[in-house]
Chain A
Amino acid sequence: MRHPYRLLIVVLALLGVCAAQEEVTLNALFMQQAAYSNDDIRNMTAEFEEQHPGVTVNLEFVSYEALHNKIVTAAAAGRGGYDIVLFDVIWPAEFAEYGILVDLTERISQETVDAVVPGAWTTVMSEGRYYGMPWILDTEYLFYNRAMLAEAGYDAPPATWSELLEQARTLKENGTVAYPIVWSWAQAEAMVCDYTTLLSAYDGAFFEDGEAAFQVDGGLRALQFMTSSLEEGLSNPASTESLEEDVRRIFSSGEAAFALNWTYMYNLANDPAESQVAGQVGVAPAPGIEGVSELSAMNGSMGLGVTTNSEHPDLSFAYVEYLTSRPVQERYARLSLPIWEASYDEPAVVEGQEDLVNAAKQALGAMYPRPLMVQYPEFSTILQSNVHSALLGRATPAEALQETALQVRQRDLR
């Protein structure tokens, strides 16, 4: 061979390039239609991959019910699972207890902490440590049909729940709509979210000093509000079988004047291709109770975390940082509002959804959390079952909540 050294150098150079550009595959688990659409997430991911050549991110989308189970079973299985997961605000306590997510507190600068909307951090916190970055900041808003309200002579959304009932009664009497209010009260977590919103309005509490407190005062009154609105015929009976998408469909087809739902519904309900009431949809923070609260809100946010089983924690965190970065969040602000405080004054974010941003500014600061328990899933299941019994008239609100409290004590849930 004439120039062996030259050939050797070329080979080494090639090997060097290959080593530098090692192929890495990350596995990320998301939820179907978790605020952002699947396509939104795919686009964000494609952008990240462009910026990190050699890195591929496999995306998986599962239903909400499957999300918790997949995260947990993958964690139990060890390596080869997911590197990045989307998690619900109700799980950090459990995940932290069992070491499923990496403690990211050290990697998050104080600057970041200050720049994010204050209420958002509870989404990823457990015992003062951060186990992810908040990503989808969400609460349940009151959606109302402006046209229907105007027809009945109301030019502003109700500020209190009793006002809402009044307006609903008028609409029902006028024959505008058979069942003015629609809720997501199927036996699922969505029902607990509705209940929590009302509980926060009545200034109730889930637990006090480790003891159940939801079966009295505000907690009890919240459930009584729910059952009496059904008895009075103001709430759609189909609510007890409905989830968020059903609520959106019923509201969007003009069969309801009021609905509690997440951020994502706003632009879809105003989209003529998706809704028959496009252009008539107003949004406001959920009402309060006279003399007790100005408005009500609950924390329905979700965060992105890195799993402890991940073999590429740094790269995974980079992915999380990218998705939660301000530019990306502001670009995709149609179905989910950003976590950055400053974004709420950005024209690009506000334009076209002033009402929503306004409502968000008020509501996000007042988000009330569901119990921060390690065994939250079990608590929620018991609560759901009993609340559903009350909603179906099989138990009184007091009985249902007392039964829940009893089972919580018996099972010693923490």
Chain B
Amino acid sequence: MTRANRLTAWLLLAPALTIVGGVVGYPFLRTLYLSFFDAHLLGGIRGWTGPANYVQAFTSRDFLAAIGHTLYFAVGSVGIEVVLGVLVALFLNRSFYGRRVLRALLILPLALPTIVNGIMWRWIYNPEYGALNAFLTQTGVLREYRSWLGQPDVAMNMIIVADVWKNFPLVTLLVLAALQTVPTDLHDAARVDGANAWQRFWTITLPGIRPALLVALVLRSVEALKVFDIIYVMTRGGPASSTKTMSYLVYEQAFSFLQIGEAAAYAFVTVAIIMVFVAVYIRLVRSQGVAG
């Protein structure tokens, strides 16, 4: 490539770089810097603490609990989304009347703003007037109305349901697109050879959709590990702090307790955990080879 071309290329890339670097880069570095100090939002920087804030992060019962809640949410939510998403994609890959319509309907949860999704499910889960309670009592499954978001173990599961409903279509659409590139004659040949559905899925379908699945996994996992919005609007971290996730704790530490040094450390531990997840996925893909 000529020198002039290289220069042009960098110039063309410059606006995007400036935006991302300027708006994200500096705050990112500043937060990293703050994480090594005892810093207070109003009291200013009160002294170097080195890795003390990070030690605090790994010994704080609240933060460790938050990591646990976040991982539970991420694994549960992404796991179910992927399984459900793939199943629905396989289903929609067959031809039948109304398939197009169903595929279009998938867009509804996807395009719905996260906050609206949150209030919608919160209303459905309302302990006194919610649709879920009404439905379950009217069909005889429950004897009386019960609390869904008010019980520590149940609350997170209900949030997972809300999150899965909104996001599984992403997996479905990604996988569906990939499925449509897998030639059907491979399936027919395998069937002739006596392979059953599961074997066919494992040896023919799965390799075909692996790249799409990887994209879905990475996107959804990163989102799930960062989760804040839906927690804020559905439970504010309760009940008994059982739905406080890492992001929520960072928010609390920074804005309610004003301990920005500690908050910064918590934030970077969160980033580190996310990076580990992504790295693991990528390594898994590399080791199995990217089929296409």
Contacts and interface: CB of A to CB of B under 8 A. Distances in A.
A99 B237 CA distance: 30
B62 to A, nearest CB: 8
Nearest to A100: B42
A199 B121 CA distance: 36
A65 B257 CA distance: 13
Contact of A98 (B42, B152, B236, B257): B42
Interface in A375-407: 375, 377-378, 381, 385, 388-389, 392, 394, 407
Interface size band for A: 20 to 34
B239 A238 contact: no
Interface string A85-108: 000000000000111100000000
Contact of A241 (B40, B150, B255): B150
Interface residues of B, number: 23
Nearest to B150: A241
B258 A72 contact: yes
A69 interface: yes
Given A98-B42, A237-B147, A241-B149, A377 B256 contact: yes
Interface string B35-62: 0000011110000000000000000010
Contacts of B150: 237-238, 240-241, 392
A241 to B, nearest CB: 4
B128 interface: yes
B203 interface: no
Nearest to B56: A411
Interface in A37-86: 65, 68-69, 72-73, 75-76
Nearest to A413: B257
B252 A381 contact: yes
A378 B256 contact: yes
A40 to B, nearest CB: 27
Given A238-B127, A241-B149, A394-B152, A389 B240 contact: yes
A325 B201 CA distance: 77
Nearest to B232: A65
A404 to B, nearest CB: 12
B252 A186 contact: no
B257 A378 contact: yes
Given A240-B147, A241-B127, A377-B256, A385 B241 contact: yes
A69 B256 contact: yes
Contacts of B61: 407
A392 B243 CA distance: 15
Contacts of A184: none
18 contacts: A65-B236, A72-B41, A72-B255, A72-B258, A76-B41, A76-B42, A186-B239, A187-B239, A188-B238, A237-B147, A237-B150, A240-B239, A241-B150, A250-B128, A375-B257, A381-B256, A389-B240, A392-B151
Given A241-B147, A392-B152, 11 more contacts: A73-B255, A97-B43, A186-B239, A187-B239, A187-B241, A237-B150, A385-B240, A392-B239, A392-B240, A394-B152, A394-B240
